[in-house]
Amino acid sequence: MTATTDGAGAMARGADPEHQEGTAGTAAPAPAAPRDAAAGPPGAGAGPDGSPRGVRGVQEATDKAVRALLERQDPAGWWKGDLETNVTMDAEDLLLRQFLGIRDEATTRAAALFIRGEQREDGTWATFHGGPPELSATIEAYVALRLAGDEPGSPHMARASAWIRAHGGIAGARVFTRIWLALFGWWNWDHLPELPPELVFLPPWVPLNIYDFGCWARQTIVPLTVVSALRPVRPAPFALDELHTDARNPFPARPAAPLASWEGAFQRMDKALHLYRRFAPGRLRKAAMTAAGRWIVERQENDGCWGGIQPPAVYSVIALHLLGYDLGHPVMRAGLESLDRFAVWREDGARMIEACQSPVWDTCLAAIALADAGVRPDHPALVKAADWMLGEEIRRSGDWAVRRPGLEPGGWAFEFHNDNYPDIDDTAEVVLALRRIHHPEPAKVEAAIARGVSWNLGMQSKNGAWGAFDADNTSPFPNRLPFCDFGEVIDPPSADVTAHVVEMLAFEGKAADPRTRRGVAWLLAEQEPDGSWFGRWGTNYVYGTGSVVPALTAAGIAPSHPAVRRAVAWLESVQNEDGGWGEDQRSYQDRSWAGKGASTASQTAWALMALLSAGERDGKAVERGLAYLVGTQRPDGTWDEPYFTGTGFPWDFSINYHLYRQVFPLTALGRYLHGEPFGPDGPRTPGAHRPAGAS
């Protein structure tokens, strides 16, 4: 199925209405004119088609990709591809509507059409393309289809329920799935971990305070403390006996872990919290609930959402409704309207729910790709993108200031609206994008860049590296809670984010700054024995390595450095027979999958970007990788990529960013044609290698 706009323009119903100014592409600037045969770094020989050094088709592929990307720009200046995850988003959206009493036939029919389309032959659902069956996703999808009227005895439902029973039934599902079922009496609240709202009173220096959790988990856990305390049950429209392994004993006790283990200690702490629930002082509990409600309302964004992501928004709406906010209240109305904007409607009438939206991330990556491909730095499309990015700068403090109270704000978030949580990765990439653009108001750009650089430097963690949203968010305790089985709940520094910050600082002339050198030292120490780096926010070792090597060379690490040579050797060793690179999400669970998987355009581009920065431009691996990109490009200048190469939580939550397949191949092709952003004399001037006549 194809989306009506693939999230690219204002026709996509997932787009923020404040940014909808017309159909995508209707006002797109003209693409760059084809370059002449002399394109390429100084001294590069040209092949018969104008591609340097005999790699056929690179120039033509680049020109087609530039045109395709320019056509996708929204008239307001931004780009946004669909952000595809898994059917739990769609199932939980229907369950929310059922809980609130607002589920309608049209929405249900469209959601069910999408969910059915994602079911596999064995009756199951996976959490990424080609992945193994996943129990919780299959349970939630099954329940959603029951809401849509699919009968348990129909073949596709019978296959699903048989598989669920064979793999542990509802009792084997993750905590979040059982919470959704408890809302309708399909699971017993007594058999769920306790999460007291009094957590909001713990000061930041006490272990397990809410700021020990990553921002995405914090925004989810606070409203869930309200839900957990009130334990609501709405009448279920049907029973789910067919999903229990033993309907006579639907709530089997889970085995106790050894007392001497961390798991055993936290299990016993959970038992103590269940006991506390019975004797919690009424006034304290009421005060905690009020404080939690206030915390939630204070963090609602201007567009009505929470954190710009669907899960916290869903649980915040439920919590506030339980606290007495009726559906007509402005806070609730705005919240529900924000959830509607996560819907992407497809041509066949199906409705897919995005977990979040990525316009800032997509826009800065698109601007970098176009600039590196030789589009002139004052091109109207790039200037418009810069204007939009400048308008998205966040100038007020958020939760990050709990750990960095004296730091002046200045940065960018991932989404249209998320002022409480700018992120370090987006800020670094936006700065790199703005530096490539010649804007008519340079002083305005310089001031925004200066604030972004200062904020990123201030968010450096004690170990010299950078996390995504917070500094020093490294407590070992949150991940051990029985409640937290839904994915990563802390935000420690990662190699990919640290690499992007180091690259940005080098571009800003701060390669010799002691803070940059600490980041470089951390990256060198984090290299895996095989020469790769772990990728936290992209899949996986190919992403980590593709991020780190360009950062190291930008910061002055020579291509001959042993760390760079090990990385090159590893990338060459995992290149596929077809010339591309690919890596399956299973590498997060099983190290033997590192660098292994079907070739994809985005992962091939990451590998090429690393190899090019390491001085391998004339190498056989680069030649084969370029040939893969040229050979798999579609006539319209795009690439197809069903595989999930993005990461929300390693293994637990995977993402297919629909624009990755476009921006990263274009960046790699452009850097092959025009050289690296960092030459031997430092950062190159945007467009410096652009041949005469290029627009």
CA–CA separation, 619 vs 637, rounded Å? 25
CA–CA separation, 325 vs 223, rounded Å? 13
CA–CA separation, 421 vs 300, rounded Å? 11
Q: Are 367 and 433 in contact (CB under 8 A)?
A: yes
State both tokens at 630: 């040229």
Q: Are 382 and 371 in contact (CB under 8 A)?
A: yes
- In Å, how far are 104, 227, 239, 543, 589 from 143, measured between CA atoms? 16, 21, 10, 35, 28
Q: What is the DSSP letter of 404?
A: -
Hey, CA dihedral for 145, 146, 152, 153, is it positive or negative? negative
β-bridge mates for residue 394, sequence order: 411
CA–CA separation, 238 vs 260, rounded Å? 42
Q: Are 673 and 62 in contact (CB under 8 A)?
A: yes
Q: What is the DSSP letter of 112?
A: H
CA–CA separation, 393 vs 384, rounded Å? 15
State both tokens at 245: 């392994």
> What length is written for the chain?
695
Active-site annotation, residues = 425
CA–CA separation, 662 vs 665, rounded Å? 6
110, 113, 109, 159: which is closest to 138 by C-alpha?
A: 159
Q: Are 504 and 515 in contact (CB under 8 A)?
A: no
State both tokens at 92: 């939980």
For the chain, how big is the Rg over CA atoms in Å?
Answer: 25
CA–CA separation, 450 vs 448, rounded Å? 5
Question: Please, which residues have CB within 8 angstroms of residue 615's CB and are 6 or more apart in sequence?
Answer: 559
3-state secondary structure of 530: coil
Strand spans (E) along 64-159: 83-84
Q: Are 670 and 372 in contact (CB under 8 A)?
A: yes
CA–CA separation, 607 vs 545, rounded Å? 7
